[in-house]
Chains A and B, each alone.
Chain A
Amino acid sequence: MDASLPSLQFIDVTKSFGPVSVIRGVTLDVLPGERHAVIGPNGAGKSTLFNLVSGLFGLSTGDIRLKGRSIAGLPPHRINRSGLARSFQITNIFHRMSVFENVRIGVMARHGVRYGLFRPIAGKRRINDEAREILSLVRLDARADDMAGDLTYSEQRALEISMTLTTGADVILLDEPTAGMSRDETARTVELIRTVTTGKTLLLVEHDMSVVFSLCDRVSVLVYGQILATDTPARISANREVQEAYLGEEAAS
């Protein structure tokens, strides 16, 4: 991989739903190995942006490139195989399967056993070992045999993040990973994200400013479907325009 090439490039991306224009020309480079946050008021289009990158929606105009290759218009599974994985804001796990199996499904995909019909999964030692490693990384190993639907909320969030890691993607998108968590849980999750995304590129949507400031190298502010500014967290918080558009709102409330 060319190190100078951005991991993820948005080139004048727009998205409209009928007459409603949600993303109105986003151009942004996410550099290899950086942790990049997208912040912005509700309705700014942060989740839509994620859905465009990961292939849930098609873009209206523009292009999105993953490591230099266009991924615009590809279905989600092809984008995932190209090395981009995402988590969901609303927990999106396999509720009626064990925690271990939730992770193993993703690990199977990485090992390319997508259509393994002729050998039992129990015999695939590397897959099972790797799934267990990922579970211990996110400290869910004690709950490996429990149904995923029976986990606590923060455990489900941790599982959500771990599933994003399983397919071996090096560009990770996390959609509000700490939403709805207590302060303690948030701190733990931030540490977890820091550990598991080392050496990877992270794009993060987050409302909690303390998470953004402690975790991210650069921040982009998205307001009404456009990037207002992209800079280091410190300079973003000092940016007047941003304060007015976004941080000011919070301070005022």
Chain B
Amino acid sequence: MRTPLIIAAVLVALAAVPPFLGLGLQNALVNVLIASLFALAFNLLIGQAGLLSFGHAAYFGVGAFATLHLMRIIEDGVIDFPTPLLPLAGAVAGLVVGAIAGFFATMRSGVYFALVTLAIAELFHALAPRWQGLFGGEAGLSSMRMPWGGITFGSTLQVYYLTLGWVAISIWVLWAYTRTPFGRLTLALRDNEQRVRFLGYNAHATKVIVFAVSAMFSGIAGALQATSNEVANYSLFSSHVSAQVVLYTFVGGSIVFFGPLLGAAIFTLFAYLISDLTRSWLLYQGLIFVLVMLYAPAGIGGIVQTHARHWQRLDWSRLAGPYALGGLGGGLVAAAVVFLTESLGVLFDEAYAVARRGAGGGYPPFEAFGIPWDPLSPVTWGVPLALFVVGLVLLLRARRAIAERWDAVRSAPAVPAAGPGPDARTASTQQIAG
């Protein structure tokens, strides 16, 4: 099996590389880790139990606030508590609030379940700014990490390692969960809730437990963010946070265990790298989400898994060409879209209106990507449009070629003609969620 090797390599890299990175990147990696754990905790519900929650910010936020309360008590010297164990507060709070909220939410399924979870998160979002004692009002709560056991927990790097430890252990526990009887029951629930009941299981109790476990790990993720940022306010409960984790999970691929982790890592790094460059980064993020849902509904993780499963049978000499063509086409289309978006962003900006007034109502050149462009020149719009069309044609051609070759791969007989035996077994171990 290659999977343990890949996991080991990733862990070694995550442990060894950060000391050589700048502060900004270290901080971004902390966010990547937190988002990854949050997405995997969320995916326990949607990927494994088949329950789509639109309000997971509630449990993330509860974990963060609980941790800040604990930090403040420690700061005041009321109790002595080991700083590395701070996220336990988030775990307990997430578990308790998750069990209560889950009890009500899981009385219904499908759309109604999603709406109840949304309502619960909105309840927190509305309540928090008005509840001074518990959530610190609109300003929120802040505190300081205290040194413990000879470690100051002052530097970003120390916070990074603390986060890495918690995230690695939590992900391992979430993975081990899928191997337990209850983990298997969770999958059965997703497939056919009615049959679960007729086999003697209390489906509601089962769903409450799954929900509470998911909320507990979301609470740990929130706790790690609180530990890292040392502040929390009501915006943690906003629907943006709930939507973000849905995005991570589906772009990463909810049917593959590690899929959401990929989505979380990609989007968090994307936000870190791109949000300084352009104000349209949320638009790009949304575009990526829509495209993945339309053309690769299994997500990035699903694509990776498909390739891994058929690795032996892939003829790269025939696939590399179409893939490169697709990459080129995609790149051209992306470049054109980015140029048009950014240019329109500049043209519809207040600053350009001011410049127009300065130019007596005409259309002065605008600046995008450090180059001045004439808004009335056909070149300015014609070239990107041409790139878009050429890119699209290349993309469509590549898609057809790739589909043909994959059909050949899929329809080819199993390698050692041994039937479904070993092949099916590796498939079922790789695809934990199915």
Binding site for B on A (CB under 8 A): 54, 75-77, 80-81, 85-86, 88, 92-98, 101, 104-106, 108-110, 113-122, 124, 127, 145-147, 163, 166-167
Q: Is B280 an interface residue (CB 8 A)?
A: no
Contacts between the two chains (Cβ within 8 Å), count: 111
Residues in A with CB closer than 8 Å to B184 are 97, 101, 104-105, 108, 121
Q: What are 16 inter-chain pairs, A to B, with CB distance below 8 A?
A: A94-B187, A94-B195, A96-B190, A96-B434, A101-B187, A105-B199, A106-B199, A114-B181, A115-B205, A116-B182, A117-B180, A118-B180, A121-B179, A124-B181, A145-B424, A146-B424
Of all chain B residues, which has the CB nearest A106? B199
Are the C-beta atoms of A121 and B428 separated by less than 8 Å? no
Q: Are A116 and B203 touching (Cβ within 8 A)? A: no
Report the Cα distance A14→B293, complex, angstroms.
49
Interface size class of B (residues with CB under 8 A): 20 to 34
Q: How far is the CA of A135 from the CA of B180 in the complex (A)?
A: 21
Specify which chain B residues have a CB less than 8 angstroms from the CB of A121 in the assembled complex: 179-181, 183-184
Q: Across the interface, do A145 and B188 meet the contact criterion of CB distance under 8 Å?
A: no
CA distance A96 to B190 in the complex (A): 9
Closest beta carbon of chain A to B113's beta carbon, Å: 19
- Give the Cβ gap from A89 to chain B, nearest Cβ, in Å: 13
Contacting residues, chain A, for B197 (C-beta < 8 A): 75-77, 80
Does B196 count as interface, using CB distance less than 8 angstroms? Answer: yes
CB distance from A79 to the nearest CB of B (A): 9
Q: Are B434 and A163 in contact (CB under 8 A)?
A: no
Say yes or no: A108-B179 contact (C-beta < 8 A), given A77-B202, A92-B194, A94-B195.
no
Contacts of B201 in A (CB 8 A): 77, 109, 114
Q: Mark B409-425, 1 if CB is under 8 A from A, else 0.
A: 00000000000110011
Return the CB mask of B168-202 against A: 1 if under 8 Å, else 0: 00000000110111111101101110111111111
Taking the closest CB of chain A, its distance from the CB of B431, in whole angstroms, is 9
1/0 per position for B105-123, CB-CB distance to A under 8 A?
0000000000000000000
Q: How close is B111's CB to chain A, nearest CB, in angstroms?
A: 21
Which of A77, A94, A145 is close to B200, meaning CB atoms less than 8 Å apart?
A77
Interface residue? B209 (CB, 8 A): yes
- Asked if A115 and B187 make an inter-chain contact with CB atoms under 8 angstroms apart, the answer reads no
Closest to B187 in A: A97
User: What 4 pairs across the A-B complex have the smallest Cβ distances?
Assistant: A116-B181, A80-B200, A94-B191, A109-B200
- Shortest distance in angstroms between B202's beta carbon and chain A's nearest beta carbon? 5
Q: Which of A92, A145, A166 has the most chain B CB atoms closer than 10 A to its own CB?
A: A145
Known contacts A77-B202, A109-B199, A145-B425: A115-B191 contact under CB 8 Å: no
Q: Which residues of A contact B188 (CB under 8 A)?
A: 94, 97, 101, 105
A77 touches B203 (CB 8 A): yes
Shortest Cβ distance from residue A211 to the other chain B in the assembled complex, whole angstroms? 23
Give the nearest-CB partner of B192 in chain A.
A94
Q: Residues of A contacting B177 with CB < 8 Å?
A: 117
- Chain A contacts of B196 at CB under 8 A? 105
- In the bound complex, residues from chain A placing their C-beta under 8 Å from that of B183 are 117, 121
